[in-house]
């Protein structure tokens, strides 16, 4: 089911998946906020130009217009970076799209600190604010296989969707048989000491940490939760009941995203487990040369997951070694 790291990468899995689905479904429209190539939709523009619409740098207008297009039976996929897709047009997403329950698919690229472009370009609270909107589906995928799956699966969701996608070289973590479920989180490894619940770009670090912890005698369940909302509380509770402690990992603020969803789930069920939340600790990040530097600096590395596990389990002995995986050009490995 899982490929071994370092992972090979592919280009434009989203863009090609959208074209494939749109060729079958003529209701699909493709809207771009002046980030066409960056959002992989140059493929759509080339193949289906009559359904490609330049919105320009006008996100507020683009969201309200997408809502009206959806009222008329179209299925608009709206593209820009995650920061611009959520912060600037929040009122328009709420009033023109979500409140009327319209099938607009908001696709935000460059999640969390995957962008070294600084706070203006780093979507660190997009899942939180999208999750707070009634009826919004929120998805943070891990790899190219899941990306393709997600595109196909969200087409017919009755209400709005926020899909969060890594930009650029996309790792292949899952094999071709992998199926993403909108309803069920997926248990990737099973163990009975600790659960690591992760989404999106933190899946590789979760898997790497689990391997290191296993070698140190800690048996780990890794859960992949691409769908942050509606959240699969059932799987999370089943898993949490079988372990001593829980760590969540997301490329996002620890406020309002996956970590919060897990905390709400455990507390509502009255299930007490030590919980550590990996993510941005209520801070903005910064501009840098490379994203891996920021993953390290802001506590999103494999070592941080291992340290959180150690802390959650009450271990006071030294951390196990966390070796750096060598990465060749065109490969992807967790920091």
Partner 1 sequence: MPAVTTGADVNRFADSVRLRAVRMVAPHGFGYLGQVLSSAELVSTLYSTAYRPDRDQLVCSPGHYIIAVFAAAAEAGLLDEDLLATYGFNDSSLEAIGTERSPAVDLTCGSLGTGLSGGVGFALSNRLKGVDDARTFVLASDGELEEGQTWEAALFAGHQRLGRLVVLLDANDSQVDGPVSSITTIDPIAAKFEAFGWDAYDVDGHDVDALTSALASAGTHDRPSVVIARTSTRQGLQVLPAHADGHFIKLPAPLAQDAVSELEARLA
What is the nearest approach in angstroms of partner 1 to the Cβ of residue 68?
Answer: 3
Structural element, H or E, at residue 311: helix 302-312
Question: Minimal distance in Å, beta carbon 90 to partner 1?
Answer: 11
Task: Choose one: 16-24, 89-97, 154-162, 177-185; the region binding partner 1 (CB under 8 A).
Answer: 89-97
Q: Which residues contact 156 (CB under 8 A, 6 or more apart)?
A: 103
Q: Count CB atoms within 10 A of the CB of residue 322.
A: 16
Interaction residues for partner 1, span 43-62 (CB under 8 A) = 50-51, 53, 55-56, 58, 60-62
To partner 1, the closest distance from the beta carbon of 75 in angstroms equals 12
CA distance 235 to 190: 13
Q: Which is nearer to partner 1, 63 or 258 (CB)?
A: 63
Q: Is 90 one of the binding residues for partner 1 (CB under 8 A)?
A: no
Tokens representing 133 are 């909107």
Under the binding rule (CB under 8 A), the answer on residue 87 touching partner 1 is no
C-alpha of 71 from chain center:
28
DSSP of 190-225: --SSEEEEE-GGGHHHHHHHHHHHHHTT--EEEEE-
From 23, 46, 91, 184, residue interacting with partner 1 (rule: CB under 8 A): 91
> Interacting stretch for partner 1, rule CB under 8 A, among 69-77, 123-131, 178-186, 288-296?
69-77
Instruction: For CA atoms 146, 147, 152, 155, give the dihedral sign.
Output: positive
Q: Which is nearer to partner 1, 59 or 143 (CB)?
A: 59
C-beta closer to partner 1: residue 48 or 335: 48
**Tokens 């939180």 belong to residue:** 128
Q: Is 173 exposed, middle or buried (0-12, 13-18, 19+ CB in 10 A)?
A: buried
Pick 14 or 44: Cβ nearer partner 1: 44
The answer to the question of residue 99 lying near partner 1 (CB under 8 A) is yes
CB 2 within 8 A of CB 175: yes
Of the pair 33, 257, the CB lying nearest partner 1 is at: 33
SS3 108: strand
CA gap 328, 176 in Å, rounded: 23
Q: How far is the CB of 138 from partner 1 (least distance, A)?
A: 22
Residues 220 to 279 in contact with partner 1, rule: CB under 8 A: none
- When the beta carbons of 72 and 289 are compared against partner 1, the nearer one is 72
- Please give the residue ranges that form the binding site for partner 1 (CB under 8 A): 29, 50-51, 53, 55-56, 58, 60-69, 71-74, 91-92, 94-96, 99-100
């Amino acid at each position: 089911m899982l490929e071994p790291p370092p992972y090979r990468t592919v280009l434009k899995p989203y863009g090609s998946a959208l074209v494939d689905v749109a060729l079958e479904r003529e209701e699909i429209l493709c809207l771009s906020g002046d980030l066409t190539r960056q959002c992989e939709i140059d493929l759509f523009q080339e193949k289906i130009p009559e359904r490609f619409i330049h919105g320009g740098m006008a996100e507020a207008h683009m969201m309200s217009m997408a809502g009206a297009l959806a009222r008329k039976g179209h299925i608009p996929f709206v593209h820009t970076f995650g920061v611009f897709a959520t912060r600037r047009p929040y009122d328009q997403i709420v009033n023109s799209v979500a409140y009327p329950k319209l099938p607009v698919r908001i696709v935000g690229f460059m999640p969390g600190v995957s962008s070294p472009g600084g706070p203006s370009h780093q979507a660190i609270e997009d899942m939180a604010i999208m999750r707070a909107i009634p009826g919004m589906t929120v998805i943070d995928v891990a790899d190219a296989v899941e990306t393709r799956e997600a595109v196909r699966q969200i087409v017919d969701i009755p209400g709005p969707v926020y899909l969060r996608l890594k930009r650029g070289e996309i790792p292949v973590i899952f094999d071709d048989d992998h199926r993403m479920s909108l309803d069920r989180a997926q248990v990737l490894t099973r163990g009975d000491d600790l659960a690591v619940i992760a989404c999106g770009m933190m899946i590789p670090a979760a898997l790497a940490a689990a391997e290191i912890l296993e070698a140190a005698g800690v048996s780990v369940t890794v859960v992949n939760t691409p769908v942050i909302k509606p959240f699969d509380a059932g799987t999370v509770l089943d898993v949490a009941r079988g372990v001593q402690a829980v760590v969540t990992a997301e490329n996002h603020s620890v406020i309002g995203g996956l970590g919060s969803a897990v905390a709400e789930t455990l507390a509502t069920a009255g299930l007490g487990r030590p919980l550590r939340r990996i993510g941005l600790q209520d801070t903005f990040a910064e501009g840098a040369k490379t994203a891996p530097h920021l993953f390290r600096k802001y506590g999103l590395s494999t070592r941080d997951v291992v340290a959180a596990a150690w802390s959650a389990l009450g271990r006071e002995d030294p951390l196990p070694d966390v070796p750096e995986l060598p990465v060749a050009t065109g490969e992807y490995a967790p920091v």
